A and B are shown apart, each in its own frame.
Chain A
Amino acid sequence: MEIEELQAAWLQMSTELKKQKKLTDDIILSMTKEKYQNKFKKISTYEAIGAIVCFSVALLVLIKFKSLDTWYLKICGLLTLTFLIVLPVLILKTLNKLKMIDISKGSYKENLSQFLKTKNRLLILQKLAIGTGFFGLFFIVPVATKIISNKDVFLTSLKTEQIVAIGVALIFVYFVSKGAYKGYKRLTLSAQELLKDLE
């Protein structure tokens, strides 16, 4: 098969499609309503809900911060607060930047480049969130245990089954995080390659 044959198929398809007039004025006008422009809104809503949950938990940690009565629990508390506030803010900011791309003004090249750069940033943040999420277990669990049941996990002697359960959970989270991280890495690489090609 030659490229010219593909072009001929495209031309034939174009001619056939031109003959079809399926859209009515009502259908077109209904498409101009905002209800169709909901993809970013959906993602932003999910992220916003996630951020609200994070901020609420952060507020609770702040209110109960005094109950973190040792230096190491205070450090864990500060790390938890950073994790719960900084990452959601950065992700929301990047999503907003994606939403702000003015498709009516820039050229295809400019918009593609801007889109890839922002998407890349979003992927890096998501990778960071996964990595931090895994290590986060080591500082979030002590803070949560102290706030909820006033116990210092660093001083509590664990039963064998508890140690096994924690071990299994850590292995599980490790493999899930590794898989997700690999997926994001592949996506970031392909976006970077295309960006390089554009420059």
Chain B
Amino acid sequence: MSKETVFTNLIREHQALLYKVTSVYTDNKQDQEDLFQEVVYQLWKYFDSFRQDSKITTWMYRVAMNTAITHLKKKKRRPDVLPIAEVLIKQIDSIDEVYEERLRLLYKHLHHLNTLDKGLIFLLLEGKSYNEIAVITGLQSSNVGTRISRIKKKLRTNMTKN
């Protein structure tokens, strides 16, 4: 199998992962699409450097999240842009109002977090263990636990306020 085929299979298989990373770090459709393309470009650029000693998804999370933090936001605020939560809602079939509302709230609270907290809570939502989060973020496992408890507390306070 050619390198291109292996790569396209990988991206097709994990496009949901990439979609979620890029939606967490952006707040509208245009920025999300730009970031998605940049992440795919970076994954391709560093594809040869992937070593089999870690899971491919761990490597993908790392490259995608690292790309997201160094991705410069567009300064212009366009009034006509669709918020990212609405983009996701439109994309998904068979959804109910409660779910839609939860998704809106989720993104609203996620976007209020700073870059580090956003990354940690994203990985937690993805079902990653503290150890896996530590591997991806470079933080110590115990530090991950402490920080996540702090973020959860912050989220709870924000949710109670609203």
Task: Mark A residues whose CB is within 8 Å of B.
Answer: 1-3, 5-14, 16-18, 20-23, 25, 28-29, 31-34, 36-37, 39-40, 43, 98, 101, 103-104, 106-112, 115, 190, 193-194, 197-198
Instruction: Give the most central of A28, A29, A194: most B CB within 10 Å.
Output: A28
Does B52 interact with chain A (Cβ within 8 Å)?
no
Does B71 interact with chain A (Cβ within 8 Å)?
yes
Q: A149 CA to B134 CA in the complex, in Å?
A: 65
Which chain B positions have C-beta within 8 A of A29? 4, 8
Contact between A8 and B102, CB atoms less than 8 A apart: yes
Which chain A positions have C-beta within 8 A of B139? 107, 109
Name the one of A1, A36, A193 contacting B105, with C-beta atoms under 8 angstroms.
Answer: A1
16 contacts between A and B (CB under 8 A): A3-B159, A5-B102, A6-B102, A9-B103, A13-B88, A16-B92, A20-B15, A25-B12, A33-B41, A43-B72, A108-B116, A108-B137, A108-B138, A109-B137, A115-B70, A193-B114
A-B contact count (CB 8 A): 147
Total number of B residues with any Cβ neighbor in A under 8 Å: 57
Task: Mark B residues whose CB is within 8 Å of A.
Answer: 4-5, 7-8, 11-12, 15-16, 19-20, 34, 36-38, 40-42, 44-46, 49, 62-63, 65-67, 69-72, 88, 91-95, 99, 102-103, 105-106, 109, 114-116, 119, 125-127, 136-139, 152, 155-156, 159
Contact between B67 and A103, CB atoms less than 8 A apart: yes
Q: A20 CA to B18 CA in the complex, in Å?
A: 13
Contact between B99 and A32, CB atoms less than 8 A apart: no
Q: A194 CA to B116 CA in the complex, in Å?
A: 8
Q: A9 CA to B98 CA in the complex, in Å?
A: 9
Q: A98 CA to B72 CA in the complex, in Å?
A: 10
Name the one of B11, B46, B103, B114 contacting A23, with C-beta atoms under 8 angstroms.
Answer: B11
Q: A193 CA to B114 CA in the complex, in Å?
A: 10
B11 to chain A, nearest CB (A): 5
Which chain A positions have C-beta within 8 A of B5? 25
